Amino acid sequence: MSQLYSCTAEVVDVLQPVDPIHCVRSDVLRATALRFVQAFPGDVLYAVKCNDHPAVLQALHEGGIRHFDTASIVEIRNVRSQLPAAECHFMHPIKAPDAIAEAYYKHGVRSFVLDHEDELAKIVEVTRGARDLTLAVRLEMPRGQALMDLSGKFGAPVHEAARLLRQCKAVAAKVGLTFHVGSQCVDVRAFGVAMDLVGETLKQSGVDIDLLDVGGGFPGQYTGSEPAFEDFCDEIRAGIARIGLPGTCRLQCEPGRALVWDGLSVICRVDLRRGSSVYLNDGTYGSLSELKYLGPCFPISVIRRHGEPVGQEWDDFQLFGPTCDSVDSMPGPHRMPADIRTGDWIEIGLMGAYSNALRTRFNGFHADRFVEIRHEDDGGKVTWLDSYKVRKVA
Ligand SMILES: *Cc1c(COP(=O)(O)O)cnc(C)c1O
């Protein structure tokens, strides 16, 4: 079943792919996971929603990720069936009773997040007053420096969180606080601000927490000027010291994007070039919505039929996806070789986060081919992942 190719250009040359292809870099994902597990002074949970492809989960697990931030019952089912020993944490503050029940009784999930007393009542009722729960209260965050802000949807303000924490303490085995600063947060101080809110909540509640979860939001290095994960770890350590968190409190984080951003690229084809407008066979309803929402910060290279040379000059382009909807556009300037033409393939790099996870079937387009690329001493190999079970290649 498996086929090997030496590089993405060879994938294109051999297959002349009609549909977009996702290229998974498992060795990159493994290395990032290992680095994060070593750098963070606690448990690293992977936020599954960011990219739930089995090859991604597998590579992160091989890199040492043992905990998963799962935010729906389907994510919990998938993680538990692929990685039975992994621990799932149900991190969505608002859950259906059926989802809580299946998570608790069938999948052994004991860790739940909430931001409202009705949710607490729901959890207690569904689990029939279980005494083995870890309950974390989600704190509301101020509008921060994250490019994708989540404030306003989830989280309890400090005084409410303090009250919720006391209510949790009365019923749960362990209690904690959690927050999420928003995705692609490029300001380490956002975590310092969050830590101070944690400190204030602890003061108002008088509760000793067993767990502090600092969420996700750590940035991918798209421009190269984003702070590194280690910088955020320093800020978090400083915050912990400042608010005097007891040493018995366990720490955890939930990166999605920062674990996978450079672990995948997408190969797609130019259906038409019209001046500075390039029409692709993948777009915002497919795997490329980040090209619109984060903007033109993704590296794009051209792969030409039969290895024909590509010009050295570069120019600015705007991109369009294949559907008939005008939303399906990715305004530039996207830098691409100036001689790009109809029929070329392009490889868009750094597409690991919020790419294939957001695909729809709108207008009949749904790219579903994945290959694995391994950069090994002999140059690298590509393995088809269409039949994911077949992943060991000689
Ligand atoms: C989406 C999400 C994450 C992951 O966010 P990234 O920006 O991808 O790191 C972590 N925690 C929660 C609660 C989330 O909703």
User: From the CB of 183, is ligand 1 less than 6 Å away?
Assistant: yes
Q: Best mutation site among 69, 113, 151, 221 for ligand 1, i.e. most ligand atoms within 8 A of its Cβ?
A: 69
User: Kind and range of the H or E element at 368?
Assistant: none
The answer to whether 68 and 45 have CB atoms below 8 angstroms apart is yes
| Residue 259 to residue 63: CA distance in whole angstroms | 11
Provide DSSP, 151-176: BTTB-B-HHHHHHHHHHHHHH-SEEE
C-beta 304 within 6 A of ligand 1: no
Q: Looking at residue 385, what is its pLDDT?
A: 52
**Range(s) within the chain of domains with CATH label 2.40.37.10:** 4-23+262-393
Q: What is the pLDDT of residue 382?
A: 54
Over its length of 394 residues, how does the chain's per-residue pLDDT go in tens digits? 234 455 777 778 878 899 999 999 999 999 999 999 999 999 999 999 999 999 999 999 999 999 999 999 999 999 999 999 999 999 999 999 999 999 999 999 999 999 999 999 999 999 999 999 999 999 999 876 566 666 678 999 999 999 999 999 999 999 999 999 999 999 999 999 999 999 999 999 999 999 999 999 999 999 989 999 999 999 999 999 999 998 899 999 999 999 999 999 999 999 999 999 999 999 999 999 999 999 999 999 999 987 789 999 999 999 999 999 999 999 989 999 999 999 999 999 999 999 999 999 999 999 999 988 765 554 555 555 543 333 333 2
* Cα distance between residue 98 and residue 172, in whole Å: 20
Rounded Cα gap, residues 168 and 86, in angstroms: 25
What separation in Å is there between the alpha carbon of 94 and the centre of ligand 1? 15
178 lines ligand 1 (CB under 6 A): no
Active-site residue 23, yes or no?
Answer: no
| Active-site residue, from 88, 185, 268, 324 | 324
pTM for this prediction: 0.93
Fold of the domain spanning 26-259? TIM Barrel (3.20.20)
What pLDDT score does 7 carry? Answer: 72
Reported as half-sphere exposure (CB side, CA atoms, 13 A), residue 67 has a value of 19
Helix, strand, coil percentages, rounded to 5, for the chain: 30, 25, 40
Cβ 137 vs Cβ 165: under 8 Å: yes
pLDDT score, position 329: 98
Helix (H) or strand (E) holding 65: none
Round to whole Å and give the CA distance between 16 and 29: 27
**Residue 69 in contact with ligand 1 by CB distance below 6 A:** yes
Query: Which atom of ligand 1 is least distant from the CA of 354?
Result: 8
* Domain boundaries for CATH 3.20.20.10 within the chain: 26-259
- In angstroms, what is the span from residue 98 Cα to ligand 1's centroid? 23
- By most ligand atoms within 8 Å of CB, the mutation choice from 50, 141, 358 for ligand 1 is 50
256 lines ligand 1 (CB under 6 A): yes
* Cβ neighbours for 35, distance < 8 A, ≥ 6 positions apart: 229
Mutate-to-test residue for ligand 1 from 46, 49, 112, highest number of ligand atoms within 8 A of CB: 49
CATH architecture for segment(s) 4-23+262-393: Beta Barrel (2.40)
